Chains A and B, each alone.
Chain A
Amino acid sequence: MLGPGLVREAASLLQRGQLAFDEARAVRSRRGKRRARVFSLDVHQSVIADLAVAMPEAGLDVLRWSISSHNHINRKVQIAPDPVSVVNAYTWKSIDENMIDAFQDRYSRFLQSFDGFVVCYPFAFAELFRGLDRPLLAVSATRYEVPYTLDPKQWNRLNAYLVDIDSKGELTLAANNVADRDYVEYFTGLKPSLAPSVCDYLQVSWSATTDRRVVFSRVPELERALVDEPQSTWQSAHAAFGGRYTWSQLATTAEVFVIPYNISTMTLFELATAGVPVTVPSKKLFAEWIESGIDVLSELSFYQVVSHPIIQTTSAGMTSTTGGWHVLTSTTRI
């Protein structure tokens, strides 16, 4: 019987083989002799997975390499992050011009074989395709500047690059929620279109076969307050499902209370398309919690994620801080 170490090694070998096969096949194929073929390298597997559902209908073939640590959500095998050279799950947060050059050196012929590119998270990967003069589709689902939040020089270079390729007619720019549309516009001056994620890759619909009401929260005190009330019929996700749950289980749930950690999450899009009844806190309730020091919307900004001191901008517009949540929430409607 194979031990877990051998299974992991075999899976890793399989994934390396898959990427080598992808490279060889892409280099062999000739542009203009087939359907338009685009390449995606992404850290977030759901946003591109959603776009990929509708790409064939738009006449597009897509090759997706995912360096997400959540590949198990959309894959049955090869669930580890794809072992991409240079830019991978272990290195991407250190991306800079040297890494971009090294990636282009490593994958030059491969990248040349594509008609266009797609980036979702992070937008910094747009520059992996610079100099190739191919159209780029960029779809923001969360603050687009990661991992440059604390590096104004690189963030400004990324902004300048996006503006430059937009001026050449090479950029198709979108956001999947109003807040990130406005956030991108605030920092770049570019105007993304709004294209909410559909998330029909799940292929589930609400069936309401149980009277279970489940709360999803990363704030234990709020979860306890909701669940422990004597009259309450709410359960924690852990109490309802145990460990990991499936979407089939979730679709049977009568109602889900989502206390979001970010202004827009893919879970909310998934629940919407599946038709699952959802309850969320109102803006008034969020304000009360924040004023009470309760840590809701704890990943609204990457300043919060990395525990960086908050710096308010003087503008009445966006900030990259917790202070921005009023603006972000006031514009969020889908």
Chain B
Amino acid sequence: MPNVRTVDSLDEAIQEPHPAAGFSAAEWLGRTDDRNRIVRLGRATLLRNFAERL
């Protein structure tokens, strides 16, 4: 998930900003577009496979 960062301590979460802080909302959402396209394709493929059995 491109929107997720992991932290090794609560202190890191407090001190360090999320990478998204360096982007405008539009720029940041552009970085998550690929993931959304891929998961939509996965869902569509699953449903198409099911529909073909009906």
Hey, which bits of chain A sit against chain B, CB under 8 A? 36, 38, 50-51, 54-55, 57-60, 115-116, 134-135, 137, 139, 169-170, 172, 174, 193-198, 200, 205-208, 222, 225-226, 229, 231-234, 254-255, 257, 268, 271-273, 275-285, 334
Q: B9: nearest residue on chain A (CB-CB)?
A: A285
A-side interface mostly: mixed
A-contact 0/1 string along B1-42, CB 8 Å cutoff: 111111111110111011111000100110010011001101
CB pair A275 B42 closer than 8 Å: no
CB pair B35 A58 closer than 8 Å: no
Besides A193-B49, A229-B11, A280-B7, 13 other A-B contacts (C-beta < 8 A): A36-B51, A54-B44, A55-B47, A60-B54, A116-B54, A194-B42, A198-B39, A271-B3, A277-B21, A281-B7, A282-B7, A285-B7, A285-B9
CB pair A206 B40 closer than 8 Å: no
Interface size on B, residues (CB 8 A): 39
B-side interface mostly: helix
Q: How far apart are A191's CB and chain B's nearest CB, in angstroms? A: 13
Q: How far apart are B6's CB and chain A's nearest CB, in angstroms? A: 4
CB within 8 Å for A232 and B14 given contacts A135-B50, A275-B32, A277-B20: yes
Instruction: Give Cα distance in the complex from A139 to B4, angstroms.
Output: 24
CB within 8 Å for A206 and B25 given contacts A226-B14, A272-B1, A280-B4: yes
CB pair A172 B49 closer than 8 Å: yes
A residues in contact with B28, CB < 8 Å? 206, 208, 275, 277
CB pair B40 A200 closer than 8 Å: yes
